[in-house]
A and B are shown apart, each in its own frame.
Chain A
């Protein structure tokens, strides 16, 4: 599974970025070349929200069904989600500097996305601060669940029904991208898909390590170790 998603990531990322850089208009009606950061910015921002929903869902499943694997998946998602959030904020700062004229401002969407980054970091910190893994899992899962409130706020911070009411530096975004050059939209979606495939690779690899680490005292891990030693 991991190599499959790895190859998909590479193909989609190269294809999407090629399309984005060479098959799309150089300048827009108001923006210049720098708008092209959209391909990374939007994909990363989508992943940051989607991964948080997934993390909270696995945490909830762990709390309800008390399955250890759910907690392990949730904690494997957190670092990838945090990276996506950071990437969205970082690329957004570059885009903001060139278009709006500032690296950072307390616009509702930027503020709520920053809170999301803190939630990811808080989740990871809480998880590693408690020595007993079962208690750490439950405490961190609860934090993830409460923090879920942030995701709809990020979404609605610029998608509110009355555009005059939700004042933001961000432009409004209409679902379906009716106001977007189809080439830009295609490239953006393909790169977003590449981000998604990358998330699969990173999370699957991380969850494998977490399982091995937590189950290191069981017989099957020891047998696996022996098998590896023999094959050397």
Chain B
């Protein structure tokens, strides 16, 4: 082979190797060390004990209240299916924090099964829509699903 052909072969191999490496890294991110644990995984005992970790889910609607006259807030982080983790947090909550909204909390799981959060972050959704538009879309969606149910 001429040197130039050799270099072209080298380039092709390099690009393929980079692709495989990227694929492997992505696969390991997907499976292994998650950025946060779901409430289900926490209840199953998959989260590290006596160690700080993150838990991610939705704030259960109607679950948020203050504990007496303290600054501590109690709310339930849920996966909207079955798993629920009661969480305590003392501090300022982010602007977007709301019931029904996505949340990521960092802290430790106590022996009493209550998650003591040191930091609470709010997530926002990918719907960049004005509130009226979103409401209208959801209404249309609900109507459509109702119609389907009626015809069935």
A149 CA to B97 CA in the complex, in Å? 35
Q: Are B26 and A63 in contact (CB under 8 A)?
A: no
* Segment from A7-15, A26-34, A83-91 that makes contact with B: A26-34
Contact count band on A: 35 or more
With both chains docked as a complex, state the minimum distance between the C-beta of B152 and any C-beta of chain A, in angstroms.
27
Within B82-127, which residues are at the interface with A (CB < 8 Å)? 93-98, 101, 104, 119-127
Q: Could you say which residues of chain B place their CB within 8 Å of the CB of A102?
A: 119, 121
* Segment from B8-16, B43-51, B62-70, B143-151 that makes contact with A: B8-16
Within A159-197, which residues are at the interface with B (CB < 8 Å)? 160, 162, 164-169, 171-174, 177, 179-181, 184-185
| Interface assignment of B25: CB less than 8 Å from any CB of chain A | yes
Residue among B8, B23, B26, B97 with most chain A CB within 10 A: B26
Q: Total number of A-B contacts with CB less than 8 angstroms?
A: 133
Q: Which of A99, A107, A164 contacts B96 (CB 8 A)?
A: A99
Q: Could you say which residues of chain A place their CB within 8 Å of the CB of B104?
A: 100, 169
| Interface assignment of A215: CB less than 8 Å from any CB of chain B | no
With both chains docked as a complex, state the minimum distance between the C-beta of B112 and any C-beta of chain A, in angstroms.
25
Of all chain B residues, the one with the shortest Cβ separation from A56 is B18
Q: Are A105 and B121 in contact (CB under 8 A)?
A: yes
| Interface assignment of A54: CB less than 8 Å from any CB of chain B | no
Q: Which of B29, B98, B129 contacts A180 (CB 8 A)?
A: B129
Q: Are A28 and B129 in contact (CB under 8 A)?
A: yes
Interface residues as binary, B35-73 with A (CB distance below 8 Å gives 1, 0 otherwise): 111100000000000000000100000000000000000
Known contacts A29-B129, A99-B122; 18 further A-B pairs (Cβ under 8 A): A28-B129, A29-B125, A29-B127, A30-B96, A31-B124, A35-B128, A60-B11, A60-B14, A64-B4, A99-B94, A100-B104, A108-B29, A149-B18, A152-B19, A162-B30, A167-B35, A180-B126, A184-B128
Nearest 5 CB-CB pairings of A with B? A101-B94, A25-B130, A29-B134, A171-B126, A152-B22
